[in-house]
Structure 1
C-alpha cells in the first residue's frame, strides 16, 4: 500500500470513528453533557464549602448558623452523584446500542459478501471481528468520548472562574494542564503500536485455535497433536507477552499523569501557603481564607478531567486498532446508519416466476477464480424440468465455482443466467454442508420449520440416514456438534440430503453428494435423489463415473470449456 493510500485509509477510519457516537444521539448527548454539568455544580460546591469553612474558622460562626450552608453542600453532593450516575448509564446504553448496530452491520456485510469470501478467512478471525473487535469500541464510547469533551472544556472553564479570584493560580492551571495531554499523546503513539500488535496476535490465536479444534480428529489420526499443542501454546505465549506490553504502557501513562497532576496541585498549594506567610511580597498577600480554600479545592478538579481522559486514552488506541483491523478484513467499514447491506446476488443471475421453458437458460457464461484465473470460457446451455446432468472434471477446475455461480454466489461471473422460477425454488448442497449446534431435528427443520417428526423420519429414510439416527438413544433429539462434530463425512452429507427431501425445489444443485459413501449406500441415495428429482432440474458435480452413468447427460469441464455428452 502506498503512503497516499495509507493516509487516505487512516482519514476514512478517523472520520468513521468520530461519527460512530452519533448513532445513539440522545444517550450520547447526555453522556457528554453530564460531566460538564457535574463540573459546573462542582465549582458551586467548592465556593460554598470554602465560604462555610471561612466563616467557621476565621469568623468563628456557630455551627448551628451554618446548617443551611451545609445542607446546600450536601444537596450539591447528592445532585452531582445523580448526574454522574445518569451520565454513566447513558454512556453504557449508548455504547451497547452502537455496538449492537455495528455487529448487525458486520453480520449483514458478511452475508452480503457471500460464502466465497467467508471461506477465504478463518472462522476464528471472523468471530474476533464480530465479537472482540466490536467490543474494543466499548471503552472508547463509554469512557473516552465523554472524558475528552470534559478534558477540553472543564480545565479552561475552571481557570476562567479562578481568574477574577487570583490570576497567578489561573496561570498555573493554564500552564500545567496542557502538559498532561501533550505527554499522553507521545505515550499514545507507542500504545497504539502495541495495541496493533496485540490485536494481530489475538486474531491469529483465534484462527489457529479454531482451526485446530475443527481438525482435532484428523490431527489425532496423523499423530500431530503434540506439534499442534506447541503451536497453540506458542501463539498463546505471544498473546500474553503483547498483553503485558500494553499493560506496561498503560501503567506508564498513569504514572506520567499522576506526576504532572501532583506537581500542579503542589504548585498551587505552595503558592497559596507562601502568600499567606507573606513571603512573596506585598503584591501576593491579598488572599482571604475563602479565596485560598476555593482555589485549593479546585486545583485537583482541574486535573481530574485530564486524569479521566488519560485513563481512557488507551481505549482510543484500542478502538483505532480495532477499526483498522475491521477495515482490512472487510475492505470497508460498516455503515453508520440503520440500513443493512443486503446479500449481493450476481447481477447476471435473474429469477422470474413465469414457469416458462426452459427452466434454466445460460448465455455466454464466463467464470474466474477469486484470483482472476479463467475457469470457463463463454458457454451457452439450457435445462428444463426432468433433465438430469452429471458435471465431471478434475479437482480444482471449477465445478464447485460453477454451481455456486449459477445461483449468484460468485462475483467473478460474466454472462446471463435466467431461472423461470423463484430463488427459493433453487437448492444447492455443497461439498461441506454446515451443521450448527443443536439437535438433528433442529438441523432438519431449518429446511422446513413446520415439518412433523413423521416427515423428518421419512426424509432421513430417503437419505439413508436411518441406520445411524434410529439407534441413537434420543433419536431426533440427539445433540450434534458444530460442523457435525461426532459424525462422519458421509453421515453429514446424508443429513444434509435429508433436508433436500423436505423442500419442494424446481432446480437441485448437488456437489459430491455421494463422495463419502460406500457403493451400496451410494446407489440407494442416488436412487432416492433421482426419484425425488424426476420432474425437477438436477445437476450433480461428481468424480464417480458410476454416478454419472445414471444421469441423462454428462458435462465435462476441461481446458476452460464445458463439453456436453449424452449417456446412452
Structure 2
C-alpha cells in the first residue's frame, strides 16, 4: 500500500510540483497559515463586542460605557490582527523569495553550464516572466487553505448554538464554492499552461528576429517580421483573455453563492427580530445581540472561501510554471568537462591536437577537423554558417563535450581532469560584446593581476578608445557597450584577452560586420599577438583574416545522416 501510494504520488504532477516548490518552505507556510487563522479567529471577539454594545443601547443603557468597551476591544483585536497578518506576510514573502532565488540560481547555473536545445530565450522567459508567478501560489494558496480548514468550522460552531437554521444555511451554501472551484480549477490550469507556452514562443520569436535584424532589413522583410510578431502577440492576448474569462466566471459564481448565503441569513435574522419567523433558534426567540452577532459572522464565514477561490487561480498558474520547470529539467543537454572552477594552468609546452573528434550537442554531433597546433601558430576555421565553427572553438576550450574522437592539449587528453587547468591557459574573444556592470579597468583584467592595462590596450589599438571615454578606465559601458562602436568593443575584448595572458587565443568572428579599416586593425593586433608567441585560432568568414593565419581548416555543413549523436 505504501509503495503503491508513493508511486502514485510520484506520477502526480501536482504532488511533484508541491514537493519541489512548497516543501522546502513548509515550516514557514505552516506558521504563516496558523498566524493568519489566529488573526481571523479574532473577528468573532470584535463581532461580539459590537453586538453587545448595540444590544445595550437598544435596551436603554447609558451608551458611553458599552461604546468605550466595544471600541477598546475593537482596537485591541484590530491591532493584534494587523500584527499577526504582518508576521504571516513576512514569513510568506521571505519563503517565496528564497524559493524563487533557489530556482533562478539553479536555472542560471545549469543553462550557463549546459544549455538545452530550447535556447536562451526559453530560459530567459522562464526566469523573468514565469517564475514570478510562483510567488502568489506560495504566499496565498497555502494560507488560504489553512484558513478555509479552520475559520468556517469555528464560525459555524459559534453560529449553531444560537440558530440552527442560520448554521444550516451556511453549511449548505459554503461547500458549493470549493466544489465549483475544483471544477473550474482544471480549466484554469489548462488555460494557464497554454498562456505560458505562448509567452515562451513569443520570446523565442522576438530573440530570433532581433538576432536577424540586420538580415531582415537587408532583405526588406520588415513588414513580414512585424506581421509575424503581431500574429504572435494576438495569440498571447487570446490566451491571456481565456485565463481572465475563467477567473471572472469563477469569481462571479463565488460571489453569487456567498451573497445568497449572507442574504438568506440576513433575511432570517431580520424576520426573526420582528417576530415574523418563530423557528430557527433553539426554543427561545432570537435576541438583537444574537441576531447581530450571527449577521456579522456570516460574511466572514465566506471570506476564507473567497480567498481560497482567488488563490486557486494562483495555484493553477504555479502548477503550469512547475510543469515547465520539469520539462526543462528533462531536456537533453551536454555538460562540458571540468567543474568550471579556478585552477592552476595546465603544465607543459603548448600543444593542441584533434584526431577524429566530434563535438556533442543536444540531439546531434558536429565533426571537427583534424589539426595540430603549437606555440605561435595560427589557424583559421572556415565554413558556411551553421557548419560548427563556434562549436569547434567551444570544444577546443573544453566547453563542449566530445561524442567521439580525442582532443589532446599540452600532451594530455582534454577531459574532466584537465579541462579547468587547460582553460586557465586560454583567452577567448566572443563574437558578441558583453560588458558587466563593473569598471572598465577591472573588466580588462579578468585574472585580477593588477597589471597595467595600457600595454595591452596599445597592442589591441584600443588605447585611444579608453582615453576618449569621459571616465577612462573607471567607465562603465553597460551590457552592450554603450559609448563605443562594435569595432571598438571588439578591440577592447582583444585587449582583455591580451591581459588574460593565455598561450592560446580563441576568437569567434572577430572581424564580422566591421568596415575594412577596423577589421584591418583587428587583424594587425592578432598578428602582433602571434609575433609574441601566442597561438591564435579564429572562426571566420573573412577572407582577409583567414589569409593572415598560417593555415586554414574547413568545416563542412553536417549532412542529415551524420548529425545524430552516436549511442
Does TM, scored on the shorter chain, surpass 0.5?
A: yes
Report deviation, 1:210.
4.3
Q: How many residues align?
A: 536
Report deviation, 1:258.
1.0
SS of the aligned residue for 1:505 comes to coil
Report deviation, 1:139.
1.7
SS of the aligned residue for 2:290 comes to helix
Aligned equivalents of 1:352 and 1:368: distance in 2? 27
Aligned equivalents of 1:349 and 1:291: distance in 2? 71
Matches within 5 A, 1:463-542: 463-465=460-462, 483=480, 490-516=487-513, 525-533=522-530, 534-542=532-540
1:366 corresponding residue in structure 2:
358
SS of the aligned residue for 2:499 comes to coil
1:156 maps onto 2:150 in alignment: no
Which one of the candidate residues 130, 136, 140 is aligned to 1:139?
A: 136
261 and 552 in structure 1: CA distance in 2 versus 1, 3 angstrom threshold: same
1:339 corresponding residue in structure 2:
none
SS of the aligned residue for 2:357 comes to strand
1:299 corresponding residue in structure 2:
298
Alignment TM-score, normalising by the size of structure 1:
0.79
SS of the aligned residue for 1:510 comes to strand
1:455 corresponding residue in structure 2:
453
SS of the aligned residue for 2:424 comes to helix
Aligned equivalents of 1:495 and 1:8: distance in 2? 55
1:254 maps onto 2:251 in alignment: yes
1:94 corresponding residue in structure 2:
95
Report deviation, 1:302.
0.9
265 and 472 in structure 1: CA distance in 2 versus 1, 3 angstrom threshold: closer
1:61 maps onto 2:58 in alignment: no
Q: Which runs of 5+ in 1 are unaligned?
A: 1-6, 333-342, 561-568
1:356 corresponding residue in structure 2:
348
Which one of the candidate residues 225, 228, 232 is aligned to 1:231?
A: 228
Deviations 1:217-257 (A, max 9, x none): 54344333333333333333333343333323222222111
Is contact 1:366–1:415 with CA below 8 Å preserved after alignment?
Answer: yes
Higher mean C-alpha deviation, range 214-223 or range 513-522: 513-522
1:263 maps onto 2:260 in alignment: yes
1:315 corresponding residue in structure 2:
314
Aligned equivalents of 1:165 and 1:414: distance in 2? 81
Is contact 1:363–1:415 with CA below 8 Å preserved after alignment?
Answer: yes
1:401 corresponding residue in structure 2:
391
Deviations 1:342-398 (A, max 9, x none): x94326999874523564466763334533246259x6x765434444444555443
SS of the aligned residue for 1:177 comes to helix
2:424 corresponding residue in structure 1:
424
Aligned equivalents of 2:543 and 2:272: distance in 1? 101
Is contact 1:385–1:536 with CA below 8 Å preserved after alignment?
Answer: yes
SS of the aligned residue for 2:114 comes to helix
503 and 93 in structure 1: CA distance in 2 versus 1, 3 angstrom threshold: same
520 and 126 in structure 1: CA distance in 2 versus 1, 3 angstrom threshold: same
Higher mean C-alpha deviation, range 102-111 or range 539-548: 539-548
SS of the aligned residue for 2:228 comes to helix
Is contact 1:386–1:535 with CA below 8 Å preserved after alignment?
Answer: yes
Report deviation, 1:98.
2.8
Is contact 2:433–2:490 with CA below 8 Å preserved after alignment?
Answer: no
183 and 172 in structure 1: CA distance in 2 versus 1, 3 angstrom threshold: same
Deviations 1:449-498 (A, max 9, x none): 6768x735x43443345687777788778886755689776555434323
Aligned equivalents of 1:417 and 1:356: distance in 2? 16
Higher mean C-alpha deviation, range 305-314 or range 241-250: 241-250
Is contact 1:510–1:541 with CA below 8 Å preserved after alignment?
Answer: yes
Higher mean C-alpha deviation, range 547-556 or range 284-293: 547-556
SS of the aligned residue for 1:509 comes to strand
Is contact 2:379–2:551 with CA below 8 Å preserved after alignment?
Answer: yes
Is contact 2:381–2:538 with CA below 8 Å preserved after alignment?
Answer: yes
Cα RMSD (Å) of the superposition?
A: 4.1
SS of the aligned residue for 1:433 comes to coil
24 and 166 in structure 1: CA distance in 2 versus 1, 3 angstrom threshold: same
Is contact 2:193–2:320 with CA below 8 Å preserved after alignment?
Answer: yes
Matches within 5 A, 1:164-203: 164-203=161-200
547 and 34 in structure 1: CA distance in 2 versus 1, 3 angstrom threshold: same
Is contact 2:262–2:299 with CA below 8 Å preserved after alignment?
Answer: yes
Aligned equivalents of 1:492 and 1:77: distance in 2? 60
Is contact 1:405–1:413 with CA below 8 Å preserved after alignment?
Answer: no
1:85 corresponding residue in structure 2:
86
Aligned equivalents of 1:282 and 1:78: distance in 2? 35
SS of the aligned residue for 1:79 comes to helix
SS of the aligned residue for 2:510 comes to coil
